[in-house]
Amino acid sequence: MRILITGGAGFIGSHLAERLLKRGDTVAVVDDLSTGARGNIEHLLVSSSFRFVHDSVTNEALMARMVDDADVIYHLAAAVGVRLIVENPTRTMETNIRGTEVVLNLAAKQRKRVLVASTSEVYGKRSHVPFKEEDDLILGPPNKARWSYACSKLIDEFLAIAYWNEKRVPTVVARLFNVVGPR
């Protein structure tokens, strides 16, 4: 299978790429390295089944070619990290929302399958567990930059669901919690 991973030089993306290559897939990664690291994928560059493109997921011309060449898309690219989110809420929202819009719009043209990575932050100020997707969301005030990340990822989820409902793009949203491991 031909796989495209946006944000593939990040922690999750690099491990996913590694696993997919071991499974026998061909993997293309696009990452602007703003929060990912070339070192995470350096060991994969020797594989003829692996391709790395240092660019932004918002580059529509590039992404059109990459989506065309893929069977499945794992959209992991996002502005992440507490410092980045607090210091650059505009960049956070633009990167997250625009990147997802580009991926979904291009995937819609050929009904490519897309996994959109979201975050547990969308649950907001929940006081009870377990969390449920159907629960009402309680977020903090808009003057707190922290919530820009949660809101941008929630918009990503709404976009994924809308693309499924309106254009039948097969989408899956994964709300990731604190992911840890090597690298």
Give pLDDT, residue 171. 98
Domain that includes residue 100, residue range: 2-176
- Is residue 54, in this structure, part of any structural domain at all? yes
For 26-39, how does the pLDDT look when each residue is reduced to its tens digit (9 = 90+)? 999 999 999 899 99
To the nearest 10 degrees (0 to 180), the angle between helices 99-108 and 146-167 is 10
- Is residue 153, in this structure, part of any structural domain at all? yes
Report residue 55 as tokens: 């660019």
Q: pLDDT band for position 52 (50/70/90)?
A: very high
CA-based end-to-end distance of the chain: 26
- Is residue 88, in this structure, part of any structural domain at all? yes
User: Which amino acid does the sequence have at 183?
Assistant: R
Distance separating alpha carbons of residues 11 and 76, to the nearest angstrom: 10
- Higher pLDDT, residue 108 or 141: 108
Residue 44 CA neighbour count, 13 Å, CB half: 27
Predicted TM-score (pTM) of this structure: 0.94
Domain count, the chain: 1
- Is residue 182, in this structure, part of any structural domain at all? no
Average pLDDT over residues 161-175: 97
The catalytic residue positions are 149
- Is residue 181, in this structure, part of any structural domain at all? no
Give pLDDT, residue 98. 96
For 129-164, how does the pLDDT look when each residue is reduced to its tens digit (9 = 90+)? 898 888 888 888 888 888 888 999 999 999 999 999
- Is residue 64, in this structure, part of any structural domain at all? yes
Which CATH number belongs to the domain containing residue 12 in this structure? 3.40.50.720
- Is residue 51, in this structure, part of any structural domain at all? yes
pLDDT surpasses 80 at 105: yes
- Is residue 183, in this structure, part of any structural domain at all? no
